[in-house]
Amino acid sequence: MKNTASDLTRISKYISLILRHKPETIGIELDAHGWADVDALLEGIGRKYAIDREILEEIVKTDGKQRYSFNADGTKIRANQGHSIQVDVELAVAEPPETLYHGTAERFSASIQTKGLLPGNRLYVHLSTNTETAEKVGKRHGKPVIYQVNAGQMHQDGYTFYLSANGVWLTKTVPAQYLKRI
Ligand code: HQG
């Protein structure tokens, strides 16, 4: 039986859970750089969904946010960013644009205004280069609110920024003084 587009989305969400947060769900481990063995992943997912190498390759290739990468010989796979578990995906340190954006929900704004942006369960705070993306991210949590991040000033002040393989800007925290609600 062929997977429909919504089956593929469901499998992709399951892959995100495994590769970013809970590899133990299917009894596998990630290495220090976040890599999982492709055969072990296929076997583990196969207990729940119809999947083979070809389907996995299609999911990786068509993923809207390019969330996953294979290693050079295709034996391993990892998520490019978004982890809550301690892995080092060899993020590239990069000079950020002057302004970045973070979308969140209204109900978090009082806390953000005083504490700044904190990574929560994830390893980093996620930032985007445009307000459209920030708005979409914010909507996942409730009534969206967008913060403008003075990334240029943060960079000047010595904060480190990373650009993930799929174009997400990441930094450890954003103190409140660099934030402006727009
Ligand atoms: C909020 C998706 C209270 C923060 C997206 C966010 C993204 C605070 C929530 C990626 C806070 C954490 C990540 C503070 C931050 N007080 N709340 N001081 N500081 N928060 O899901 O950024 O589709 O862990 O604003 O596209 O929403 O999964 O982070 O609302 O890039 O690939 O705490 O996930 O990508 O929520 O989303 P999350 P996020 P994928």
Q: How far is CA 143 from CA 105, 119, 132, 135, 148, in A?
A: 5, 20, 14, 9, 17
The answer on 96 and 73 residing in a single domain is no
Q: Which domain holds residue 29?
A: 5-79
Model pLDDT for residues 127-178, shown as the tens digit of each residue: 999 999 999 999 999 999 999 999 999 999 999 999 999 999 999 999 999 9
* pTM beyond 0.85: yes
> Residue 20 CA: which ligand 1 atom is closest?
28
The answer on 74 and 36 residing in a single domain is yes
Which CATH number is 49's domain given?
1.10.10.970
158 C-alpha vs ligand 1 centroid, how far in Å?
23
The answer on 97 and 54 residing in a single domain is no
Residue 39 resides in a domain: yes
CA 176 vs. chain centroid, Å, equals: 22
The answer on 59 and 131 residing in a single domain is no
Residue 96 resides in a domain: yes
Residue 51 resides in a domain: yes
Out of 124, 139, 141, 164, mutate this one to test ligand 1's pocket (max ligand atoms within 8 Å of CB): namely: 141
Model pLDDT for residues 118-139, shown as the tens digit of each residue: 999 999 999 999 999 999 999 9
Residue 85 resides in a domain: no
Domain boundary among 48, 79, 110: 79
Q: Report H helices in 124-177.
A: 131-139, 151-156
